[in-house]
C-alpha cells in the first residue's frame, strides 16, 4: 500500500518532451501538468470528472486529468492544449473556434479543443448531432454550445478541404 | 463631451474577438494560473451542520502539523479584523466576521482556515482541528422561517425577516373590485446558480514594511470589495491594491469579500502570500445561490383580457445573507410589469433568512422568477379567456408610440417595439405552422407543446433604490470610469473599472475607441482585467447589472473624445488652422477636404510627451484622459416611493417547441427561437453568443438545475453529478432574430444583453411543457420540470 504523500518516480512524454519526476502519489495529473510543468492551459473546473475542462489526450485518447493520478501515467504519452497549438499561429480547429466566437470566458475552451480534436481524428465528417454527442462530456457555462458546434463543423469542412487538396 | 468625429467603421461590425486568440490556445491568465514567490495554500474547515452553536475549537495539533504556517479560527478572526460591512443597507444590523465565531448558520459555513505549503497539506491539517458543535434546529422553508416561534439565525434580531413592506401604486383594490375577473395563482422557484466554470479564488499578500495588502482575485466588483476589505482590515483604502486577471465567467456569483479577508489574515500571520482556490463542492455548497421563493400573484382583467391591476406577495429566501439582502425583492419590483400596461400595482415584499447557503447575485437577479410568475399568469389567463397566448400579450404591451413609458413603480421603458418583437418571433418560428403541426401530432397521441414568453431586460442599477429598504440614502446612481491614453508611439491603451468575465471587452472597447480616434481596433490595446493601482475606478465599478451599455460605454467614449479633442488642438497649433476644420482619420489628424494636410498621431504624441515646448500655450504635456460617466436616468426615490431602479430596457420574445415522452416524462426541446432587441449591437458576434448562452441558463433552470435541501438543511446536490447543468445534447441550436431600436439614453444607443434569455427562458419552457401536457390538465407552478415530476403529472393516481 502506497501512502498518499509518498513520492514515486515516473517517466512520461508530455507534448513530445520526455519528463522524469518524483511526485507524491496523490498528485492528480491535472495538478502535475499545471503546478509541476507550468502547463496552465489545462483547467480544473470540478475535480470530480464531470465538467471536462481538464481534458487531455493520454496515448491519443481523451481523458479527465483531474481523475487520474500522475503516477498512473508512467510510460504514457500526454498531449495538452499546449501540445495541440502550433508554435506559430493556431490550428485549423482553433482558427474555427475564433471565427465562430465559440467561447466567451474561455475557461472550458482548452478542454473543448482537446475533445473535438479527438472527434475529428476519428470522424472527419461529423453531423451536428455527432458533434453534440462528442461535446456531451464538456460543460460550457457561457455559450449555450451553439457556436462551438458551428466551429467544429467549420473546422471539419476546412480539414476535409485541406486533405482533398493534398491527395 | 464633444461629438464623434466621423462615420463609425468598427462599432456594429461582427469583428472576431482579440481575446479568443489567446483563450483558444490555453493562454488565458486565470486566478489559479497566478502565483507569488513563497506562496502558501489555504484550505477552509466548513460546518457540517446547518445550524449549531460552536462550543469550542481546538486547532493546536493542526498548528504544529508539518508544513502548516498559520491557522485561523473565528475567534481569532474577530480579534484581528472588523465585521464585514453589508453591501446593501439593511435595518438588520449584525456583526458577521470572515469566519463563523460562535454560531454556524448553514452547512458549509467556514469556521477555521489553514495555510500550508500546499493544498493537500492544508487539507490534511483541517482533519486535525477539533470542533465541538451544539446543533440547533435548522429552518429551511422561508414561509416557516417567518412564522413566530421559528428557529432564529440571529436571536439578537428577534426575527428572521430582513425586510417586509407593502408598496402600492394606484388603486389596486378598486381595480380588483371592478374587474371582470381576477386570476389568482401561487408560483415557487427553486434555488439555482449560473456556476461559472472557473470557481472563485484569491491570493493575498501582506507587506509589513508598508502595512499594506495586495490581492489578486476573480472578484467581479473590485471597487466595492476594496472598501469592504479596508474597513475590516483597519487600513486605509490607499494601502490596498487589488487586481483581477482573466475571469472565467461570473454571472454575478463571483464575490465573497470574506474569503479574501481569510487569505489576508493568514498571509499576515504566516508572513507569506496565501492562495485559495474554491473547489467545486465549496462553490455549489457555499458561494451563492439565487433566492428560492414563493410568489402569490393576483391579476385583475377585463373581459377582453386588458389588464387592470397586479398584486404580488413575494417571499424571497435569502439563506444566510445579510450582505446583499432584499436585492432580489427590489429588482423584482423594478421589473414587475414585464412590458405590460398595468395601471395599478401592489408589491408585498418579504426577505427572509434561513439556514441555507447565502443568496446572492445570479444572472438576472430576481427577474427570472418575476418573469416566470407573470408569464405563467398570462398564459393561464389566455387559457381561461380562450385567447391565444400571443394575442393576450399583444393586447397588453406598452407600444412603441407610448415610449418612454413609466410603470406605476417608476421604471421607465425607454425604447423598443414589444409587439413587433413578438410578431417577429412568431413569424420566424412559424408559430401558425407549428400550431397546425401540433394538432396533427396530438391526434397521433404525441405530447407536443409550444411555449411563448416575453420579457424586458434592464441594464444598469440605480443604487438609490436601496433607499426603499431603510428610508436613507447611502449609495446612489449608476456610473463607471475609464482611461484612454495615447502612448508616445501613437498606439492607444484603454482601461475601465469593469473587469470582463467573458463579455469580449478587449474587442468591443477597441472597436469603440477606434471609431472615436480614427484608428483600427488593432491599434487599441484594452487592459486585461483590473488593477486598482492603474485602472480608474469608483465604488460603483465592476462587472454587474448589465451595465456596460449604460455606464461603461459613456466613460470610454468620453475619455476617447477628450483625447481626440486634444489631438485636434495640437494639430491645429501645428498647422495654424482652426480645430473645427480637422478630423481624425487613419491614424492622423487631417484637414477636412485637404487630405494631404495631415499630422500623424505618432508625431503629435511625440510632441505631447517628449517635445513639450512644441505644445500650444497652456496645454498640458501628455495624451491621457479619464472620464466617468453617470447615467442621466438615475434619480432619487420620489415621494410616492417610485424609482428608476434600473435604467434602460431591452426586450425579447422566446418561442419554443417541446415534446414530452409519454412513458419517461423526459422533455425534449425540438426548437427554440429568440427574437430580441438590445438596441444598437456594438458587436453582433458577442451579442448573439450572449443570447445563446443566457437562453441555455434559462433552460437549465427550467428543466435541470436545483439546489435541493433536506429538512436538516443539508444540501443534497453538491456536485455536477446531481446538480445538473445543460450539456450540448440537452439543448437545441438556439435561433436568434434581432431587432434594433437604439436607446436614446445611452451614448451609442446600446442596451443590456448579458442577462437576456436567463429571464424569460424558464417561463417559455414551462409554458411549452404545460401546453404539451394539455391532455392531462396540468398547471405548472414550480421548477425544475424533471422527468420524475412530469411522469407523476401524467399519472395522477401514482403518487
Can the peptide bond before residue B89 be classed as cis, meaning omega within 30 degrees of 0?
no
| Same-domain pairing of A112 and A147 | yes
Q: Nearest Cβ partner of A141 from B249, B731, B734?
A: B249
pLDDT per residue over B294-337, tens digit each? Answer: 999 999 999 999 999 999 999 999 999 999 999 999 999 999 99
Closest CA to B495 of B565, B242, B505: B505
Write the pLDDT tens digit of every residue in B249-299. Answer: 999 999 999 999 999 999 999 999 999 999 999 999 999 999 999 999 999
Give dist(CA B394, CA B389) in Å, integer.
9
Q: How far is B216 from chain A (nearest CA, A)?
A: 17
Q: How confident is the model at residue B7 (pLDDT cuts 50, 70, 90)?
A: low
Rg (CA), chain A: 17
As a whole number of angstroms, the distance between CA B607 and CA B687 comes to 40
What are the boundaries of each domain within chain B? 18-28+479-630, 34-136+198-248+254-287, 292-464+636-794
Q: What is the pTM (predicted TM-score) of this model?
A: 0.97
Selection from B316, B318, B317, B311 nearest residue B296 by Cα: B311
Gap from A95 CA to chain B (nearest CA, Å): 8
**CB-CB contact of B208 with B333 (8 Å):** no
State the pLDDT confidence band at A166, using cuts at 50, 70 and 90.
very low
B502·A105 Cβ contact <8 A: yes
Question: Is the same domain home to A136 and A159?
Answer: yes
A79: domain CATH number is 3.10.20.30
- Identify whether A1 is part of a domain: no
Query: What CATH number is attached to the domain comprising A102?
Result: 1.10.150.120
Residue B650's CB is within 10 A of a number of other CB atoms, namely 30
Residue A164 has pLDDT above 60, yes or no: no
Q: What is the dihedral of CA B660, B665, B666, B672, to 10 degrees?
A: 30
For residues A70 and A99, state if they share a domain: no
pLDDT of amino acid B92:
81
> What's the average model confidence in pLDDT over B531-552?
96
A121 shares its domain with A154: yes
Give B616-658 pLDDT, tens digit per residue.
999 999 999 999 999 999 999 999 999 999 999 999 999 999 9
Residue finishing a domain among A47, A67, A84: A84
**Cell for A50?**
464531470
β-sheet bridge partners, residue B450? B657
The predicted model gives B660-665 an average pLDDT of 97
Q: Could you tell me if B378 and B707 are in contact, meaning their C-beta atoms sit under 8 angstroms apart?
A: no
Report DSSP letters for B28-47, one per residue. --BGGG---TT-EEEEEEE-
Mutation site, A25, A28, A106, interface B, largest B CB count within 10 A: A106
Residue A61 and residue A126 share a domain: no
Q: How many domains does chain A have?
A: 2
pLDDT for position B686: 98
* Statement to judge: residues A113 and A156 lie in one domain: yes
**CA-based nearest distance A75→chain B, Å:** 25
Which range among B414-418, B472-476, B580-584 shows the weakest confidence by mean pLDDT?
Answer: B472-476
A80 and A109 together in one domain: no
Please tell me what DSSP assigns to residue B549: I
pLDDT at A167 over 50: no
Q: Which fold, B34-136+198-248+254-287? A: Aldehyde Oxidoreductase; domain 3 (3.90.1170)
Within 8 A of A133 by CB-CB distance, chain B residues are 728-729
Q: How far apart are CA B772 and CA B779, in angstroms?
A: 11
Residue numbers in A near B721 (CB within 8 A): 48, 50
Say if CB B216 and CB B203 are below 8 A apart. yes
For residue range B76-105, list pLDDT tens digits in order.
999 999 999 888 888 888 999 999 999 999
Residue of B117, B197, B543 to mutate when probing chain A, most A C-beta within 10 A? B197
* Domain final residue, candidates A35, A54, A84: A84
> What is residue B680's predicted lDDT score, i.e. its pLDDT?
97
pLDDT band at B684 (very low <50, low <70, confident <90, very high): very high
| Positive/negative CA dihedral, A46, A48, A52, A53 | positive
* Cα–Cα distance for residue pair B748/B3, rounded to 1 Å: 11
Residues A79 and A25 in one domain: yes
Non-local (6+) Cβ contacts of B736 within 8 A are: B673, B674, B675, B676, B688, B691, B692
pLDDT, tens only, B194-229: 999 999 999 999 999 999 999 999 999 999 999 999
Looking at residue B87, what is its pLDDT? 84
Confirm or reject contact between A154 and chain B (CB < 8 A).
no
ipTM score of complex? 0.97
| A152 three-class SS | helix
Kindly calculate the radius of gyration of chain B based on its CA atoms and give it in whole angstroms.
27
Check residue B1 and give its pLDDT: 44
Kindly state the average pLDDT of the residues B13-21: 98
Please give the span between the terminal C-alpha atoms of chain B, in angstroms, as a whole number.
Answer: 66
Q: Tell if the CB–CB gap between A106 and B195 is shorter than 8 Å.
A: no
Cβ distance of B248 and A43 shorter than 8 Å: yes
- How far the first Cα of chain A sits from its last, in Å, is 54
* Strand locations in B365-502 (E): 405-406, 412-413, 447-461, 479-486, 492-496
Residue range of the domain that includes A54: 7-84
Pick the CATH number of B18-28+479-630 from 3.40.50.1110, 3.40.50.300, 3.30.365.10, 2.60.40.10: 3.30.365.10
The pLDDT confidence band at residue B798, using thresholds 50, 70 and 90, is: low
Q: Which three cell numbers stand for residue B523?
A: 491599434
Label residues B178-209 b or e (16+ Cβ within 10 Å = b).
Answer: ebeebbebebbbbbbbbbbbbbbbbbbbbeee
Which residue, A60, A84, A108, sits at the end of a domain?
A: A84
Residues A128, A112 within the same domain = yes
Overall average pLDDT of the B582-603 stretch: 95
Q: B412 has which bridge partners?
A: B406
Tell me the pLDDT of chain B averaged across its residues. Answer: 96
Is A29 a domain residue?
yes
What value, to the nearest 5°, has the Cα angle with vertex B636 and ends B630 and B642? 125
In a domain, A2, yes or no: no
Verify that A80 and A101 share a domain, yes or no: no
Question: At a CB cut-off of 8 Å and minimum separation 6, what does B155 contact?
Answer: none
* A-proximal residues of B, 715-734, CB under 8 Å: 719-721, 725-729, 731, 733-734
A127 touching B (Cβ < 8 Å):
no
Predicted pLDDT of residue B88 = 85
pLDDT at A1: 78
In CATH terms, are B34-136+198-248+254-287 and B292-464+636-794 the same topology? Answer: no
* pLDDT(B2) > 90: no
CA B101/CA B338 separation, integer angstroms: 43
Please report which confidence band the pLDDT of residue B538 belongs to, taking 50, 70 and 90 as the band edges.
Answer: very high
Cell numbers linked to A159: 480539414
CA B141, B142, B147, B148 dihedral sign is positive
CATH (residue range B292-464+636-794)? 3.30.365.10
Residues A22 and A43 in one domain: yes
* Contact between chains at B24 and A113 (C-beta distance less than 8 A): yes
* pLDDT of B86: 87
Say if residues B10 and B515 touch (Cβ distance below 8 Å).
yes
* Spatial contact of A55 and A62, defined as CB atoms under 8 Å apart: yes
Q: Which helix (H) or strand (E) holds B672?
A: strand B667-677
Same domain for A58 and A110, yes or no, is no
Whether pLDDT at B799 is above 60: no
Residues B217 and B203: their CA atoms lie apart, in Å, by 6
Amino acid at each position: 500500500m502506497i501512502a498518499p504523500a509518498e513520492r514515486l518516480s515516473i517517466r512520461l512524454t508530455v507534448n513530445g518532451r520526455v519528463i522524469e519526476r518524483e511526485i507524491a502519489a496523490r498528485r492528480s495529473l491535472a495538478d502535475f501538468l499545471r503546478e509541476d510543468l507550468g502547463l496552465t492551459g489545462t483547467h480544473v473546473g470540478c475535480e470530480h470528472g464531470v465538467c471536462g475542462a481538464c481534458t487531455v489526450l493520454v496515448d491519443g485518447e481523451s481523458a479527465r486529468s483531474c481523475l487520474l493520478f500522475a503516477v498512473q501515467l508512467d510510460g504514457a504519452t500526454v498531449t495538452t492544449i499546449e501540445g495541440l497549438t502550433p508554435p506559430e499561429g493556431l490550428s485549423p480547429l482553433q482558427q474555427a473556434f475564433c471565427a465562430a466566437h465559440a467561447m466567451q470566458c474561455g475557461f472550458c475552451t482548452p478542454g473543448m479543443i482537446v475533445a473535438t480534436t479527438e472527434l475529428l481524428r476519428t470522424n472527419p465528417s461529423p453531423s451536428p448531432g455527432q458533434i453534440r454527442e462528442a461535446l456531451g462530456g464538456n460543460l460550457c457555462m457561457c455559450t449555450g454550445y451553439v457556436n462551438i458546434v458551428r466551429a467544429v463543423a467549420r473546422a471539419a469542412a476546412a480539414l476535409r478541404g485541406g486533405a482533398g487538396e493534398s491527395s | 463631451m464633444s461629438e464623434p468625429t466621423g462615420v463609425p467603421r468598427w462599432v456594429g461590425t461582427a469583428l472576431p474577438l482579440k481575446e479568443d486568440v489567446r483563450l483558444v490556445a490555453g493562454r488565458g491568465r486565470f486566478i489559479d494560473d497566478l502565483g507569488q514567490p513563497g506562496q502558501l495554500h489555504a484550505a477552509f474547515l466548513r460546518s457540517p451542520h446547518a445550524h449549531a452553536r460552536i462550543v469550542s475549537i481546538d486547532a493546536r495539533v493542526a498548528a504544529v502539523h508539518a508544513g502548516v504556517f498559520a491557522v485561523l479560527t473565528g475567534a481569532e478572526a474577530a480579534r484581528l479584523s472588523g465585521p464585514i460591512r453589508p453591501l446593501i443597507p439593511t435595518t438588520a444590523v449584525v456583526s458577521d466576521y470572515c469566519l463563523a465565531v460562535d454560531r454556524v448558520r448553514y452547512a458549509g459555513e467556514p469556521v477555521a482556515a489553514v495555510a500550508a505549503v500546499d493544498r493537500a497539506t492544508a487539507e490534511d491539517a483541517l482533519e486535525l482541528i477539533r470542533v465541538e458543535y451544539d446543533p440547533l434546529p435548522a429552518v429551511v422553508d422561508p414561509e416557516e422561517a417567518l412564522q413566530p416561534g421559528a428557529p432564529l439565525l440571529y436571536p439578537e434580531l428577534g426575527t428572521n425577516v430582513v425586510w417586509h413592506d407593502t408598496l402600492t401604486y394606484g388603486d389596486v383594490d378598486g381595480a380588483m373590485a371592478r374587474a371582470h375577473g381576477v386570476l389568482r395563482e401561487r408560483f415557487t422557484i427553486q434555488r439555482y446558480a449560473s456556476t461559472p466554470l472557473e470557481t472563485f479564488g484569491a491570493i493575498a499578500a501582506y507587506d509589513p514594511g508598508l502595512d499594506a495588502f495586495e490581492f489578486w482575485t476573480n472578484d467581479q466588483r473590485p471597487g466595492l470589495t476594496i472598501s469592504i476589505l479596508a474597513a475590516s482590515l483597519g487600513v486605509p483604502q490607499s494601502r490596498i491594491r487589488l487586481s483581477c486577471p482573466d475571469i472565467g465567467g461570473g454571472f454575478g456569483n463571483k464575490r465573497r469579500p470574506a474569503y479574501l479577508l481569510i487569505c489576508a489574515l493568514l498571509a499576515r500571520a504566516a508572513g507569506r502570500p496565501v492562495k485559495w482556490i474554491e473547489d467545486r463542492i465549496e462553490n455549489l455548497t457555499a458561494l451563492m445561490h439565487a433566492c428560492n421563493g414563493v410568489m402569490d400573484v393576483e391579476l385583475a382583467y377585463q373581459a377582453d383580457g386588458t389588464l387592470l391591476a397586479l398584486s404580488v406577495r413575494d417571499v424571497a429566501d435569502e439563506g444566510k445573507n445579510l450582505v446583499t439582502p432584499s436585492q432580489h425583492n427590489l429588482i423584482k419590483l423594478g421589473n414587475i410589469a414585464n412590458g405590460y400596461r398595468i395601471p395599478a400595482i401592489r408589491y408585498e415584499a418579504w426577505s427572509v433568512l434561513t439556514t441555507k447557503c447565502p443568496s446572492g447575485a445570479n444572472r438576472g437577479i430576481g427577474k427570472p422568477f418575476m418573469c416566470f410568475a407573470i408569464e405563467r399568469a398570462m398564459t393561464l389567463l389566455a387559457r381561461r379567456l380562450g385567447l391565444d397566448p400571443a394575442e393576450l400579450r399583444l393586447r397588453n404591451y406598452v407600444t412603441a408610440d407610448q415610449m418612454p413609458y413609466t410603470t406605476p413603480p417608476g421604471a421607465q421603458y425607454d425604447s423598443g417595439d414589444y409587439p413587433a418583437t413578438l410578431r417577429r418571433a412568431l413569424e420566424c418560428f412559424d408559430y401558425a405552422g407549428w400550431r397546425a403541426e401540433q394538432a396533427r401530432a396530438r391526434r397521433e397521441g404525441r405530447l407536443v407543446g409550444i411555449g411563448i414568453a416575453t420579457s424586458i431586460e434592464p441594464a444598469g442599477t440605480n443604487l438609490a433604490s436601496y433607499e426603499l429598504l431603510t428610508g436613507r440614502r447611502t449609495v446612489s446612481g449608476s456610473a463607471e470610469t475609464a482611461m484612454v491614453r495615447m502612448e508616445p508611439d501613437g498606439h492607444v491603451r484603454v482601461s475601465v473599472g469593469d473587469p470582463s468575465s467573458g463579455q469580449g471587452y478587449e474587442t468591443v472597447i477597441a472597436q469603440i475607441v477606434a471609431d472615436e480616434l480614427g484608428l483600427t481596433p488593432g491599434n487599441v490595446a484594452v487592459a486585461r482585467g483590473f488593477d486598482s493601482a492603474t485602472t480608474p475606478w469608483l465604488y460603483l465599478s465592476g462587472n454587474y447589472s448589465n451595465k456596460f451599455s449604460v455606464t461603461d460605454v459613456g466613460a470610454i467614449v468620453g475619455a476617447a473624445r477628450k483625447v481626440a479633442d486634444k489631438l485636434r488642438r495640437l494639430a491645429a497649433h501645428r498647422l495654424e488652422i482652426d480645430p473645427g476644420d480637422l478630423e481624425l482619420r487613419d491614424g492622423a489628424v487631417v484637414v477636412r477636404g485637404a487630405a494631404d494636410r495631415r499630422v500623424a498621431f505618432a508625431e503629435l504624441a511625440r510632441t505631447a510627451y517628449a517635445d513639450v515646448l512644441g505644445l500650444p500655450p497652456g496645454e498640458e504635456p501628455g495624451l491621457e484622459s479619464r472620464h466617468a460617466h453617470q447615467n442621466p436616468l438615475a434619480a432619487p426615490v420620489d415621494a410616492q416611493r417610485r424609482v428608476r431602479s434600473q435604467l434602460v430596457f431591452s426586450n425579447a420574445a422566446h418561442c419554443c417547441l417541446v415534446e414530452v415522452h409519454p412513458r419517461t416524462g423526459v422533455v425534449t426541446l425540438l426548437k427554440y427561437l429568440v427574437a430580441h432587441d438590445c438596441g444598437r449591437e456594438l458587436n453582433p458576434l458577442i451579442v448573439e453568443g450572449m443570447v445563446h448562452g443566457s437562453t441555455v441558463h434559462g433552460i437549465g433552470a427550467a428543466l435541470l438545475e436545483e439546489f435541493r435541501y433536506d429538512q436538516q438543511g443539508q444540501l443534497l446536490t453538491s456536485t455536477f453529478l446531481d446538480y445538473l447543468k445543460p450539456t450540448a445534447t440537452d439543448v437545441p441550436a438556439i435561433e436568434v432574430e434581432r431587432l434594433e431600436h437604439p436607446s436614446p439614453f445611452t451614448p451609442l444607443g446600446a442596451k443590456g444583453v448579458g442577462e437576456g434569455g436567463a429571464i424569460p427562458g424558464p417561463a417559455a419552457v414551462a409554458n411549452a411543457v404545460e401546453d404539451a401536457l394539455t391532455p392531462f390538465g396540468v398547471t405548472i407552478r414550480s421548477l425544475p420540470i424533471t422527468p420524475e415530476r412530469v411522469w407523476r403529472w401524467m399519472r395522477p393516481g401514482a403518487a
